[in-house]
């Protein structure tokens, strides 16, 4: 949890500058000409939950990447600053899309701009889909930079590489994730295929899923959530929290009902919800996962119902999630899906 006292010394100069600005606010001099930093109340008076830098994709239409993650985190009380790794008209599942792609140098320029204005204090870094080795390498530099400002920074990484046996990033990204990203992550949220890539372990049972979590713990992150594992037609989430190095992790599963439809943005939303709730319940990852899964399932059911009411067959194409319409389920979810702890 983030408290104001943690920021007091770091932002003493900033606060002083802000007080100076407030004293001069009645003068005829324009703030634009004063070269003084404007007051940033979200830094001086931070939210009790935290401040997240979210580096993900962005679409003008629809909810994937940052569009799927930022709003839910804000509903849960976080300040969220998005950096859009791409800006597309729509997600790539449509017949066409247009837009721009941010490269590693452009990402670093944004970080430098924040740093020059003392705006780099974050409690969390969140990353999702990354399409190139150069951009992922810059992400690693960002992690180091943010931790030089706040050593307690938590890095929540969704290592988006593929699904159902299909890789949809350049193959060379796999080794970068495995060798460089996993060791610095605080929480990792791979799906079944991604966990197999990261551990070189075929996951064919719940026992395999738990062992994959153990392998990932040994590499670095104390929290691992395998967000979807399909075993003999049954869908599970498996979570694992190693509270201290060398100790056996607390592990659990949540059985997830299968919904006969394909949605976009659900992985990005799931990771955002896991970040949000795990920070509120830092010693109770299973409770955080229950809240995240319950929110997600309520949202998906609303999405299905709304498409049906509009006369659309939910099985005919990918569905855009009903994020705005589900904000009550995000803010105050009714827990309908319970974690079962492994012994």
DSSP letter for 163, please. Answer: E
- The set of residues, in sequence order, having a beta carbon less than 8 Å from that of 14 and lying 6+ positions away, is 37, 40, 43, 44, 118
Q: Which is it for the CA torsion 238, 159, 78, 324, positive or negative?
A: negative
d(CA 167, CA 174): 10
The separation between CA 54 and the C-alpha centre of its own chain, rounded to angstroms, equals 7
DSSP letter for 102, please. Answer: -
Which element (helix H / strand E) includes 228?
A: strand 223-231
On whether the CB atoms of residues 65 and 129 are closer than 8 A, the answer is: yes
Which long-range contacts link 232-236 to residues 24+ away (Cβ below 8 Å)? 236/206, 236/209
d(CA 182, CA 188): 7
- Among 308, 302, 305, CA closest to 325: 302
Q: Is 286 a catalytic residue?
A: no
Q: Could you tell me the end-to-end alpha-carbon distance of the chain, in angstroms, rounded to an integer?
A: 29
Query: 187 pairs with which residues across the strands?
Result: 156, 223
Residue among 268, 306, 313, 329 flagged as catalytic:
268
For the annotated catalytic residues, the residue numbers are 268
């Amino acid at each position: 949890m983030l408290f104001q006292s943690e920021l007091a010394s770091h932002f003493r100069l900033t606060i002083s500058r802000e007080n100076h600005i407030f004293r001069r606010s009645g003068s005829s001099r324009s703030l634009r000409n004063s070269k003084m930093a404007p007051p940033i109340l979200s830094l001086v008076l931070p939210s009790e939950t935290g401040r997240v830098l979210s580096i993900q994709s962005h679409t003008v239409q629809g909810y994937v990447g940052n569009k799927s993650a930022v709003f839910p985190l804000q509903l849960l009380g976080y300040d969220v600053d998005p950096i859009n790794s791409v800006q597309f008209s729509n997600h790539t599942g449509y017949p066409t899309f247009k837009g721009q792609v941010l490269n590693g140098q452009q990402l670093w320029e944004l970080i430098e701009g924040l740093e020059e204005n003392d705006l780099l204090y974050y409690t969390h870094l969140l990353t999702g889909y990354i399409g190139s080795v150069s951009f992922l390498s810059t992400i690693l530099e960002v992690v180091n930079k943010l931790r030089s400002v706040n050593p307690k920074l938590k890095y929540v990484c969704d290592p988006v590489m593929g699904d159902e046996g299909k890789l949809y990033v350049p193959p060379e990204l796999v080794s970068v994730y495995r060798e460089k990203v996993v060791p610095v992550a605080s929480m990792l949220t791979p799906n079944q295929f991604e966990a197999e890539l990261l551990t070189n372990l075929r996951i064919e049972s719940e026992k395999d899923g738990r062992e994959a979590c153990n392998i990932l713990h040994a590499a670095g992150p104390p929290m691992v959530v395998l967000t979807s594992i399909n075993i003999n037609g049954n869908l599970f989430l498996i979570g694992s929290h190693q509270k201290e190095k060398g100790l056996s992790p607390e592990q659990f599963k949540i059985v997830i009902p299968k919904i006969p439809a394909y949605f976009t943005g659900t992985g990005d939303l799931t990771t955002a919800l896991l970040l949000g709730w795990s920070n509120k319940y830092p010693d109770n990852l299973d409770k955080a996962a229950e809240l995240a899964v319950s929110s997600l399932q309520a949202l998906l059911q609303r999405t299905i119902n709304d498409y049906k009411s509009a006369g659309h067959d939910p099985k005919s194409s990918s569905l855009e999630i009903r994020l705005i319409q589900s904000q009550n389920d995000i803010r105050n979810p009714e827990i309908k899906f319970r974690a079962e702890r492994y012994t």
